[in-house]
Amino acid sequence: MKNTLFGLLLALTLSSFQTLADSPPVTSTELTEPAQFTGAWYGYITMPNTELLLIVTLEHSDNHWSGTFMLPSQSATGTPLENFSVSDNQLAFSTPSGSRFEGQLDDNQRLQGTFTQGTVQRAVNLGREVIDPNATFTLTSRWGNIDVETFASGLVRPWGLDFLDNDRILVTELPGRLRIVEADGSLGAPIAGVPAVNQINPAGLFDVVLAPDFATSQRIYLSWAKPDAAGSNAASTSIAHARLADGALHDFTEIFSAYPKVPGWHYGGRMVFSADGQYLFLGLGDRGDQLMQSQELGSHTGTLIRIHPDGSVPADNPFIHTAGALPEIYSYGHRNIQGLGIQPGTNRLWATEHGPQGGDEVNTPEPGKNYGWPIITHGEEYGGGEIPLAVGFKKEGMEQPVWHWTPSIGVSGMTFYQGESFPAWQGNILAVGLRDRNVARLEIDGDRVIHQENLQLKDRIREVKVGPDGFVYLLTDEQGNGKILRLRPAQPQG
Ligand SMILES: [Ca+2]
């Protein structure tokens, strides 16, 4: 059932890219007031795990109807509607992919009806009010209601963030910009000195983290998809540090560049410092079509790397004395690490890893260990079927994930909650989903996940961090209106 409904969503999305076939003749009676249906209509379409904002725009001219619908988070332009059937208070139309809306005007001038694709039907309730996509909304949770505020908006695919101080945030945008977001949520101008990025597949500027000694050094670390040469499709994930002063980067110094540079995708890109600040971890990916490279120690593909803040290799890295192995590798057999967090108390590293279809993982990477990709996985190929190289869920010498999501939530960033705003969440993992548009709150006992709570949002969520104020900050993965959302305990109704 869930797959079918997801299919509906997919069809809605994919239909945005279909060309409009010749529309069959419009059936339309003579209307006394065609104006009652013209203009824009707004509403949410309710899906099992989420609600999506739907905007339908209808026009009437020469006794013909035309229109578009759009999902603002996924498409900047609307998809043409066709097959209109209109009477005095009834309206029906189809999408190019065959979904059909049938509804009527109610006494409050709301367009109420059903949206049908195949055997799936969902209620749709469209009103005239403009829905503000940045409006605060409240979600319920086990520990009370949470206000979801838009702290900042207008970003393009924000990917990573860190807190400059109690008021300001440094945020990356995937196309290759770094900005300071002020305390009031306003966006600063792009910071000069950011390197050129490979934007294919999609890649670009990934993470930003402050150096542990930022207060004195003003040093920040960036990870990005570094092209092999100008105009080349080949690239790899790289790290540089630079000094941030006067709105620009100075003393830009590359300290790591993954080997080899190839075309492809799954760059990883997430960074975190160890609790003592002596080590910098970077999660990498399998580069999409280089799967078996995740099992090879002669490339950085599909590994987690550990270096010192100056880029030098720690003397106790696990493969430093292994012939043919790259010395920066800390663990391997990873598909695409997207989140890294240091557990308060234990100072242990945890990682979220984007799976295939199913098999999103949480791991606790340990030195020298093999996390199995692509030999073992709990997932399957996109579209179904076994991973060609996989032997199943388990194999001797390969680590099991601490937790996995099957089906996938489309896991991206993660962090551990520490703060005073949500006292019941101390030490919990907050892991975010692109596909499921959620925050998964995981309660931990030792190295086991003992409870999960789903906090349902409306946007694809790329990254999560806890602010100095104890509120939870999220980045939404949107092209047109990428946001920094802020979760805080709901204010009592006045
Ligand atoms: Ca694994």
Closest CA to 243 of 270, 209, 220, 272: 220
Measured in Å, residue 213 CA sits from the centre of ligand 1 at 33
Measured in Å, residue 166 CA sits from the centre of ligand 1 at 37
In eight-state DSSP terms, residue 425 is: G
Measured in Å, residue 468 CA sits from the centre of ligand 1 at 33
> Which distant-in-sequence residues (6+ apart) come within 8 Å of 161 by Cβ?
169, 170, 171, 172, 208, 463, 465, 473, 475, 484
- pLDDT averaged over every residue in the chain: 88
Four-residue CA torsion sign, 287, 288, 289, 291:
positive
What is the rounded CA–CA span in Å between residue 398 and residue 8?
37
Measured in Å, residue 370 CA sits from the centre of ligand 1 at 8
What is the mean pLDDT of the segment spanning 26-43?
A: 66
pLDDT, residue 28, reads 45
Whether 15 shows a pLDDT value over 70: the answer reads no
pLDDT, residue 494, reads 52
Task: Give the residue, 100 or 381, on which the prediction is more confident.
Answer: 100
**How distant, in Å, are the alpha carbons of 51, 127, 452 from that of 109?**
22, 7, 41
User: What would the DSSP string read from start to end of 329-350?
Assistant: EEEE--SBEEEEEEPTTT--EE
Measured in Å, residue 288 CA sits from the centre of ligand 1 at 15
Task: Give the residue, 42 or 329, on which the prediction is more confident.
Answer: 329
Whether 9 shows a pLDDT value over 60: the answer reads no
pLDDT, residue 443, reads 98
466 near 486, Cβ under 8 Å? Answer: no
pLDDT, residue 51, reads 65
> Which distant-in-sequence residues (6+ apart) come within 8 Å of 418 by Cβ?
344, 426, 427, 466
Task: Give the residue, 491 or 161, on which the prediction is more confident.
Answer: 161
User: Is 378 marked active-site?
Assistant: no
Measured in Å, residue 291 CA sits from the centre of ligand 1 at 13
pLDDT, residue 6, reads 41
Residue 213, helix vs strand vs coil: coil
Measured in Å, residue 332 CA sits from the centre of ligand 1 at 9
Burial class (CB in 10 A: 0-12, 13-18, 19+), 456: middle
pLDDT, residue 24, reads 40
Query: Do the strands 303-307 and 280-283 form a parallel or antiparallel pair, or are they unpaired?
Result: antiparallel
Range with lowest mean pLDDT among 16-25, 117-126, 147-156, 211-220: 16-25
Measured in Å, residue 337 CA sits from the centre of ligand 1 at 10
464 near 477, Cβ under 8 Å? Answer: no
The catalytic residue among 266, 300, 354, 404 is 266
Task: Give the residue, 52 or 225, on which the prediction is more confident.
Answer: 225
Whether 74 shows a pLDDT value over 60: the answer reads no
All domains of the chain, ordered by start, with CATH?
2-126 (2.40.128), 137-489 (2.120.10.30)
Burial class (CB in 10 A: 0-12, 13-18, 19+), 230: exposed
**How distant, in Å, are the alpha carbons of 20, 31, 120, 121, 308 from that of 91?**
20, 12, 19, 17, 64
Please name the amino acid found at residue 136: T
What is the rounded CA–CA span in Å between residue 206 and residue 236?
12
Measured in Å, residue 286 CA sits from the centre of ligand 1 at 12
Structure tokens at 5: 């409904």
pLDDT, residue 424, reads 97
What is the rounded CA–CA span in Å between residue 162 and residue 330?
24
Query: Do the strands 82-86 and 27-28 form a parallel or antiparallel pair, or are they unpaired?
Result: parallel
What is the mean pLDDT of the segment spanning 57-81?
A: 76
Task: Give the residue, 469 or 72, on which the prediction is more confident.
Answer: 469
Beta bridge pairs of residue 114 = 102, 123
Measured in Å, residue 302 CA sits from the centre of ligand 1 at 11
In eight-state DSSP terms, residue 302 is: T
Q: Which pLDDT band, with edges at 50, 70 and 90, does 4 fall under?
A: very low
Highest mean pLDDT among 68-77, 117-126, 478-487: 478-487
pLDDT, residue 129, reads 77
Residues 219-270: tens digit of each pLDDT:
999 999 999 987 788 999 999 999 999 999 999 999 999 999 999 999 999 9
Task: Give the residue, 381 or 139, on which the prediction is more confident.
Answer: 139
What is the rounded CA–CA span in Å between residue 384 and residue 159?
29
What is the mean pLDDT of the segment spanning 97-117?
A: 88
Q: Quickly tell me which residue has 């079918």 as its tokens.
A: 4
Beta bridge pairs of residue 64 = 61
Q: Which pLDDT band, with edges at 50, 70 and 90, does 48 fall under?
A: low
What is the rounded CA–CA span in Å between residue 447 and residue 450?
9
Exposed e or buried b for every residue in 88-123, given b needs 16+ CB within 10 A? eeebbbbbbbebbbbbebeeeebbebebbbeeeebe
> Which distant-in-sequence residues (6+ apart) come within 8 Å of 268 by Cβ?
237, 282, 283, 284, 285, 334, 336, 337, 338
Task: Give the residue, 381 or 320, on which the prediction is more confident.
Answer: 320
Measured in Å, residue 268 CA sits from the centre of ligand 1 at 14
Measured in Å, residue 336 CA sits from the centre of ligand 1 at 10
Q: Quickly tell me which residue has 């009652």 as its tokens.
A: 36
pLDDT, residue 346, reads 97
Percent of residues, the chain, with pLDDT higher than 90:
65
What is the rounded CA–CA span in Å between residue 236 and residue 72?
32
**Strand arrangement, sheet containing 360-363:** 337-342, 349-353, 360-363, 403-405
Percent of residues, the chain, with pLDDT higher than 70:
90
pLDDT, residue 142, reads 93
Highest mean pLDDT among 129-143, 235-249, 383-397: 235-249
pTM score: 0.81
Q: Quickly tell me which residue has 């997932």 as its tokens.
A: 379
Residue 267 CA neighbour count, 13 Å, CB half: 33
What is the mean pLDDT of the segment spanning 278-300?
A: 95
What is the rounded CA–CA span in Å between residue 410 and residue 415?
16
Residue 163 phi, psi (nearest 5): -95, 115
